[in-house]
Chains A and B, each alone.
Chain A
Amino acid sequence: MPTNKLKSIYLSIILALILLLLPCSGFVLTMRPDFMLLVIIFWLIRAPNLCNVGTAWLVGLFVDLATGGVFGQYALAYTIAAFFAVTYQKRLVLFSSTQQLIYVFLLLFISQLIMLVIKTFAGAQFMGWTYFIPSITGVLLWFMAGLFGLDVGGRNRGN
């Protein structure tokens, strides 16, 4: 069972990397959710024994490579987001879907906020609130994944 799951973890990470590498610009770029972090959060909740803060760091390093930015910035953002995901993992599994959505949004938001802080230190200007749109689209993607039958872990109180 774990080897099987390990395979699907690798596969999903590679898939997310390809999605990240898809050529897009302008409007699509501002709307695009952070596929990689979503995948990592998903596995942190579903398989905490296979996936931890270190995994998030390594994946973040690959995202740094793909985006061509300074090494370590996405790694740091993912590490911190993953830490919060791991710390509250037990509770996250028991959360209702809505609570879980809010929590995932917060995680995505934290990672974006850290990126913003790093970039601001490097001398970049804040580009306006549209910068945070990927967090919202990311949560929508999470919600859709739940609707389409992917077991994202949230318990439905109704059933």
Chain B
Amino acid sequence: MARRFNNKLEQQQAPAFFVHGPSALARLAFFSTLSLALMAADSRLQYLLTVRQTLQTLLHPLQVLANTPSQLYRDASEYLSTHDYLLNENRQLKQYALQQDIALQKLNTLALENEHLRQLLEVNKTIVQGGVAAEIMHVGRDMFSRKIILNRGQTNNISAGEAVVDAKGVIGQVTRVYPLSSEVTLITDKSLAIPVQIERNGLRAIAFGHGRDSTLDLPYLPANVDIRRGDRLVTSGIDGVYPTGLAVATVTKIEVTQDSPFARIICTPTGGVENHRQVLVVSLPHIDVQAESGLSSTQASGSSVDTTQSENVQVAPKPIDAQKAVKVMPLNQKSKKNAHE
């Protein structure tokens, strides 16, 4: 016991007033100021992207190491899965593939027909977007924002602003690209907005992430809007980032109060981050900047995408048209007034 205590005394070699170097308070002041400066530089000026990318590459081996246990567990459980289970799954998948094949045959015919009709009407060609398959490495650790990290990065030609979808629907947008991984902001994040359309009647709106729980808000829609519970929201595609017609969310709750001209509409996303590991990163459509200057000038605050990050991005990938939203507002108030009269 006495030895233990002696040990403890030895560890503190000299009292504080003999230790050379600045005092704790001076250090606190210095490092706090440095942190504040860093925060400002990072969030406002965005100088630190290359630093971040370099350090992230250094952290990558550790990340792979941290992912190893769960990977091993998954591999082991895959290896140990029973013969019966595999047979069953195989049968189901075959059936599923057959159904999909039939649907795809129809789709091919329809696509050709559509193309033909579009040529007849001299409408612009629809944009064909390619994609990169990726896997979710981990869900973001910051409890205040909703982000996931994918295992594909700059080396796989992923650039900031690209849409990320899974089998059930849209999940988010690539916001930061590192050499070997990329960060995706989910549609439920507060800083991300996505232009949607109600599948039933084609009404356009913008869905904003709620931030706190995994739901979406549809603000700026009048109280008398034609929307019902269970309506499916799909991407409208007018932003030039998300392909048209991908499922985004289903309307789960509509609240209309007397004191607000707007309806409070809450939707649940159809795509799930918790359920799937495989996602598809849809590459940005390549459009001339001149032709799209009108679109890029209307870009507004919605998305957290940073266009300065990548040279590949030709169109500012800010998926929102705030002007429309603003235009709607006075209209609503007028209609509300009329209703009162």
- Check B142 for interface membership: any CB of A closer than 8 A: yes
Give Cα A40–Cα B8 distance, bound, in whole angstroms: 18
Q: Mark A115-139, 1 if CB is under 8 A from B, else 0.
A: 0001100111101000100000000
| Interface range, A side | 35 or more
Are A69's CB and B63's CB within 8 A? Answer: no
Number of interface residues of B (CB under 8 A): 53
Interface residues of B in 11-35 (CB under 8 A from A): 11-14, 16, 19, 24-25, 27-28, 31-32, 34-35
Residue numbers in A under 8 Å from B31 (CB-CB): 53-54, 56-57, 75-76, 79
The listed residue with most B CB atoms (<10 A of its CB), out of A47, A57, A151, is A57
Are B212's CB and A125's CB within 8 A? Answer: yes
- Check B121 for interface membership: any CB of A closer than 8 A: no
Are B25's CB and A83's CB within 8 A? Answer: yes
- Check A101 for interface membership: any CB of B closer than 8 A: no
- Check B66 for interface membership: any CB of A closer than 8 A: yes
Please choose the segment from A24-32, A102-110, A141-149 that sits at the chain B interface, where 4 or more of its residues have CB less than 8 A away: A24-32
Q: Which one, A29, A46, A70, contacts B141 given CB within 8 A? A: A29
- Check B322 for interface membership: any CB of A closer than 8 A: no
Q: Mark B39-78, 1 if CB is under 8 A from A, else 0.
A: 1011100001000100110010011011101100000000
With A53-B28, A125-B211: A119-B141 Cβ-Cβ less than 8 Å:
no
CB distance from A14 to the nearest CB of B (A): 7
Give Cα A114–Cα B149 distance, bound, in whole angstroms: 26
With A21-B62, A68-B183, A87-B24: A122-B43 Cβ-Cβ less than 8 Å:
yes
Residue numbers in B under 8 Å from A3 (CB-CB): none
Are A71's CB and B140's CB within 8 A? Answer: no
Are A68's CB and B35's CB within 8 A? Answer: no
Are A76's CB and B39's CB within 8 A? Answer: yes
- Check A39 for interface membership: any CB of B closer than 8 A: no
- Check A65 for interface membership: any CB of B closer than 8 A: yes
Are B8's CB and A83's CB within 8 A? Answer: no
- Check A111 for interface membership: any CB of B closer than 8 A: no
CB distance from B143 to the nearest CB of A (A): 7
Residue numbers in A under 8 Å from B149 (CB-CB): 68
Give Cα A26–Cα B89 distance, bound, in whole angstroms: 28
Interface residues of A in 41-76 (CB under 8 A from B): 46-49, 52-54, 56-57, 60-62, 65-73, 75-76
With A29-B141, A29-B143, A125-B211: A70-B8 Cβ-Cβ less than 8 Å:
no
A21-B138, A62-B55, A72-B42 given; 8 more Cβ-contact pairs under 8 Å = A21-B59, A52-B27, A53-B28, A53-B31, A66-B59, A69-B145, A70-B43, A124-B144
Point out residues on A near B: beta carbons under 8 Å: 14, 17-26, 29-30, 46-49, 52-54, 56-57, 60-62, 65-73, 75-76, 79-80, 83, 86-87, 90, 93, 118-119, 122-125, 127, 131, 151, 153, 159
